[in-house]
Structure 1
Amino acid sequence: MQQEETIGGELLAGRREWIGLFVLSIACLIYSMDLSVLFLAMPAIVADLDPSASELLWINDVYGFMVAGFLVTMGTLGDRIGRRRVLLVGAFCFGLASLLAAFSTTAEQLIASRALLGIAGATVAPSTLSLIFNLFHDEAERTRAIGIWGTAFALGGLVGPLIGGVLLQYFHWGSVFLVNIPVMLALLIAGPILLPEHKNAAASRLDLVSVALSLAAVLPVIYGLKHMAAYGFQLDQPVAIIAGLVFGFLFVRRQTRLTDPLVDLRLFRIPAFNASLAVNMAGIFFVFAVFLYQNLFLQLVTGLSPLEAAIWSVPSATVFTVMSLQAYRFTNRLGPVRTVLSGLVVNAAGTAAMAIAAYQQSAVAVLASSMVIALGFVPVILTTTGLIVGTAPPERAGSASAVSETSAEFGGALGIALLGSLGAVVYRIAMSGIDLAGLTPPQAAAVSETLAGAVETAASLNGGAVPAWLEAARSAFSLGFTLSCVIATLTLLALAAIARRIYARADLDESAIGAH
């Protein structure tokens, strides 16, 4: 690809390279957006498809888990057959799966379509990051390009609910998937023209047994946790969890014996790498869960329409956007470690304020708290991403990047699954003693399982009076929201204390790591 100038012997990018970066960033934004685009659509999906509590969680979670499960696999496949080729095949499959999801007529079909979306989406992150390294050879330009790429990833989780809110006001819920198709079509057209092909002739062999073991470790554990939350204790749930842990042990053991492992476990012997990875994953874990609760709270507790909820979320989304573009200033002034530690404290202050706001059922306070969370979350995530790669030996930087991307996707999906399950448990316990006399057994079951079911049941009844059990249901949901925020606050503060000690002992050369 033609470069326009050189400085210090390094080739500088031209217009074509920056346009290529724009195309890659938009694709990355779309793939990230699909983790959160359904937040506002869930009430409409409940009304249309009538999913069970467990199916509702799977609709939200399966995309992120399939992405996390296949990220490293797709990265290795790209090394072997070409990054651009894998990206373009993934874009085609992503558009096709989006079409299937948009016109799903059952909860099971939507779950299957979201799973296919996740597998296709797993081609995007490793391919786009690798292609950026091929597009930009100058270190300063590459750092700027990776920052833009990371901002697109972060913004995807924010614009998902906003776009969803606008579309849901005027169109069927399936429209939140159809928006993916034009972007993927543009990538298919522009990719062969703007993006260079890259493959590694010495790439490692793709170990299909490791791929299977990684999925067999993740999915049974999540199945057991979610069904336990939705239906109470049953024998198949601990069996599934134990089976997943056994497969996880087999996966780790296999990686230690392979010449070309799917995951380089030697990275986990680096204390600063582990600390950065834990902070990065925990930050995403909690913020995705909190924003799922927030969007459900705005619609189901305060009674806002999807569009109204999206509009109310604009101020916090604006803070996220501004911080994504300006976070490097904090890192340059404070250094990576102090940026991470101070950001964790600010993030914890935001979740503590969110806990109080949720308990008081104040929409204004909830949104103000989300703005505080943004101030701490964005610098932490962008900086720890740089630390994860920067603390690894140069020869293992690629493997470190793959682990970072996998943990980010897994953290977001796991946060929704576990804290969503915790909220379901709290809701079910709080509603167990509520008088539901006058409701049919199916109506009573719907009210007892989820707040969405309670709101839908109340809307179907004749009469303008708000049933007493609906207010109890809203309080039960808010209690689960509050408890999740309290757990987030305590965990983030504990992580700040632990990370501070680990970074101090690691004696990091922050100037060598650089700002991300």
Structure 2
Amino acid sequence: MPAQIPPAHTPPARTEPVRLGDVWVALAGLSAVFLLEMLDNSVLTVALPTIGRDLSASTTSLQWVSGAYSVAFGGLMLLFGSVADRFGRRRTMLTGLVLLALVSAATPLVTSVEQLVVVRALMGLAAAMTTPGSMALTFRLVATDDLRVRALTVVSTAGLVGLAVGPTIGGLVLAVAPWQVLLVANAPIALVALVGIRAGVRPDGPDDLHREPLDLLGAALGTAAVTGVLVTPTLAVEGAGTAAWAVAAATIAAVAGFVLRERTARSPMLDLALLARPLVASGLAHKAAAGLATAGLSWLVTLQLQSAWGWPPALAAVGTLPQVVVLLAAGRFVGPFVRRVGLERAAWTSATAVVVGLAVFTVAGRTGYPAVAVALALVAVGMRVVGAVAGNNVLAGLPADRTSIGAALVDTASELATAVGISATGTVLAVLVPGSVTVAHPTAAHTTAVLGAVQVAGAVVTCAAALLVGVGILRGRRRRTDPAPTSAPLPSTQQPAPTTSQESSRA
């Protein structure tokens, strides 16, 4: 039987907050955690050409500078979600923040691309320790859906602004400082998050935790499966035929072993039945679609502006400002929009906007910067909504004692989609562009090859993201005929998570 995961801790000595100002210290710390998650990859994206030249890195090596973080993060997220439920969510988050600060501060010691990949993997491990608890704790800070969406919007705003301003900040910093500064900057943000969580989030009590054994075999199989999915196309592109086939076979075996293990283990890392819940499946699909499209667009825009059009990093950073402006300006409209159309429709329409943005860039991006600006704005509009709504839908579709694993699922879906987006675009570029995409003095033929590869990669990622949106819409419709999920009892001071029937009445 699957292990029963206890509900997140709610301080028994106080009543539920009636406004967000009552929990502002906790929200500040949790927002800083999400800022780290989203800022980390985006701020480094604009620096990839500079890193490639500085460390003499190949295209596939640059792919793993970003991909190593996503692989470690996505592969270990569920494991550390389980660890947090057993040994304390607050304790696990604080440990991860300390590790992240230390690894970030050590970045100036990096002298090769291999060392940088290791640093990025360690950062992903630290992020896997900190992130699962952030959404679950935010969801449980308040009791009503309106306040929950507002709280999740506050936290996601910090992350989405980080995602949007990351390239701008990165480009401006590169104009006056080495690229290592971009990673060292994680350390002070981690310290801010640490202070906010220590001051605003109470430690878990003994009744909030359980001592079921960790599913280490399931965690190992899951991590192996994720890594194999990303490594196989890279090996195939590099011509390592035998190795590619061997890794592909090992990946299939790992996926099958993971499914079998989670179905038969007494204390599985992930109860696979949770994924079949309509609201959970649709929310994860929309979140993954948005993450896939955003990751693809971010890298493709950076490469087109710098490697194809020859823009310096600072100008390329300014070129991403439409995304920043829209993200900041759209914040006040999220709540009214969600109340008007309902949570389910808000999720799929916002995910669709992200995919349409990537499609606009794919079809018209090479015609000039105005098309790029429109694509960035569309993606920003969609991400502004889906960042809060899809996660809320997943948690609302789960029993009340499963929100921690639900938060881990949301972040795992997003990170895996990001890693797949990076892997897919990197693989297409490596196949279609001779040599490296970051040559110092590109020829006309090289520029043409880069533009063509960017368009093909954009089309591949757009189709994959659109398919995920379609799956999300179909699964969301299923919930109207499926029974509502049941919830385990919560402490008297905590309200239950909304059920499917409750969600239908609100929408």
Q: TM-score range by the shorter chain?
A: 0.7 to 0.9
2:476 counterpart of 1:503: yes
Q: 2:239 aligns with which of 232, 242, 259?
A: 232
Q: Specify the code of the residue in structure 1 equivalent to 2:361.
A: M
Partner of 1:512: 503
Partner of 2:293: 286
Partner of 2:322: 315
Q: Specify the code of the residue in structure 1 equivalent to 2:150.
A: R
Q: 2:438 aligns with which of 439, 446, 452?
A: 452
> Alignment RMSD, CA only?
2.8
Partner of 2:99: 93
Cα distance change, pair 510–49 in 1 and its aligned pair in 2 (3 A) = farther
* TM-superposition CA deviations, 1:278-325 (whole Å, max 9, x none): 222122111111111101211122222211111121122221333355
How do 1:232-251 and structure 2 match up within 5 A?
232=239, 234-251=241-258
Cα distance in 2 for partners of 1:69, 1:22 equals 27
Instruction: State the SS of the aligned residue for 1:240.
Output: helix
Cα distance in 1 for partners of 2:141, 2:387 equals 24
Deviates more, 1:303-312 or 1:342-351: 342-351
2:457 counterpart of 1:484: yes
Per-residue deviation, 1:353: 1.9
Cα distance in 2 for partners of 1:20, 1:497 equals 36
2:447 counterpart of 1:474: yes
Q: Specify the code of the residue in structure 2 equivalent to 1:24.
A: L
Per-residue deviation, 1:344: 4.5
Per-residue deviation, 1:25: 0.3
2:434 counterpart of 1:425: no
Partner of 1:346: 353
Q: 2:42 aligns with which of 36, 40, 53?
A: 36
Cα distance change, pair 325–398 in 1 and its aligned pair in 2 (3 A) = farther
Cα distance in 1 for partners of 2:333, 2:468 equals 24
Unaligned runs of 5+ in 2: 1-8, 482-499
Q: Specify the code of the residue in structure 2 equivalent to 1:205.
A: P
Q: Percent identity?
A: 26
Cα distance change, pair 258–316 in 1 and its aligned pair in 2 (3 A) = same
Cα distance change, pair 279–13 in 1 and its aligned pair in 2 (3 A) = closer
Contact residue 96 and residue 126 of structure 2 kept, 8 A: yes
Cα distance in 2 for partners of 1:267, 1:506 equals 13
Cα distance in 2 for partners of 1:387, 1:128 equals 16
Cα distance in 1 for partners of 2:167, 2:401 equals 39
Cα distance in 2 for partners of 1:32, 1:501 equals 29
2:64 counterpart of 1:54: no
Cα distance change, pair 309–425 in 1 and its aligned pair in 2 (3 A) = same
Q: 1:217 aligns with which of 194, 212, 225?
A: 225
Q: Specify the code of the residue in structure 2 equivalent to 1:336.
A: L
Q: 1:72 aligns with which of 70, 75, 78?
A: 78
Q: Specify the code of the residue in structure 1 equivalent to 2:187.
A: I
Contact residue 302 and residue 363 of structure 1 kept, 8 A: no
Cα distance in 2 for partners of 1:206, 1:295 equals 41
Cα distance in 1 for partners of 2:163, 2:141 equals 26
Cα distance in 2 for partners of 1:116, 1:496 equals 32
2:8 counterpart of 1:17: no
Per-residue deviation, 1:164: 1.0
Name the larger-Rg structure: 1
Cα distance change, pair 346–87 in 1 and its aligned pair in 2 (3 A) = closer
Deviates more, 1:418-427 or 1:101-110: 418-427
Deviates more, 1:173-182 or 1:415-424: 415-424
Cα distance change, pair 382–487 in 1 and its aligned pair in 2 (3 A) = farther
Partner of 2:491: none
Q: 1:180 aligns with which of 182, 186, 195?
A: 186
How do 1:383-422 and structure 2 match up within 5 A?
383-422=389-428
Q: Specify the code of the residue in structure 2 equivalent to 1:391.
A: G
Contact residue 25 and residue 148 of structure 1 kept, 8 A: yes
Q: Specify the code of the residue in structure 2 equivalent to 1:355.
A: T
2:365 counterpart of 1:374: no
Instruction: State the SS of the aligned residue for 2:44.
Output: coil
Q: Specify the code of the residue in structure 1 equivalent to 2:213.
A: R
Cα distance in 1 for partners of 2:288, 2:242 equals 30
Cα distance in 2 for partners of 1:133, 1:345 equals 24
* TM-superposition CA deviations, 1:366-386 (whole Å, max 9, x none): 122221232334334432222
Deviates more, 1:113-122 or 1:275-284: 275-284
Cα distance in 1 for partners of 2:468, 2:452 equals 24
Deviates more, 1:499-508 or 1:471-480: 499-508
Cα distance in 1 for partners of 2:44, 2:400 equals 39
Per-residue deviation, 1:78: 1.7
Per-residue deviation, 1:143: 3.7
Cα distance change, pair 223–490 in 1 and its aligned pair in 2 (3 A) = closer
Instruction: State the SS of the aligned residue for 2:438.
Output: helix
Cα distance change, pair 295–324 in 1 and its aligned pair in 2 (3 A) = farther
Higher relative contact order (CA 8 A, sep 6+): 2
Cα distance change, pair 489–515 in 1 and its aligned pair in 2 (3 A) = farther
Q: 1:358 aligns with which of 344, 365, 370?
A: 365
Per-residue deviation, 1:179: 0.9
Partner of 1:202: 210
Per-residue deviation, 1:54: 2.2
Deviates more, 1:393-402 or 1:216-225: 393-402
Cα distance change, pair 515–350 in 1 and its aligned pair in 2 (3 A) = farther
Per-residue deviation, 1:126: 1.6
Per-residue deviation, 1:355: 1.5
Cα distance in 2 for partners of 1:161, 1:273 equals 32
Question: What TM-score, normalized to structure 2?
Answer: 0.86
Cα distance change, pair 112–39 in 1 and its aligned pair in 2 (3 A) = same
Paired positions, count: 478
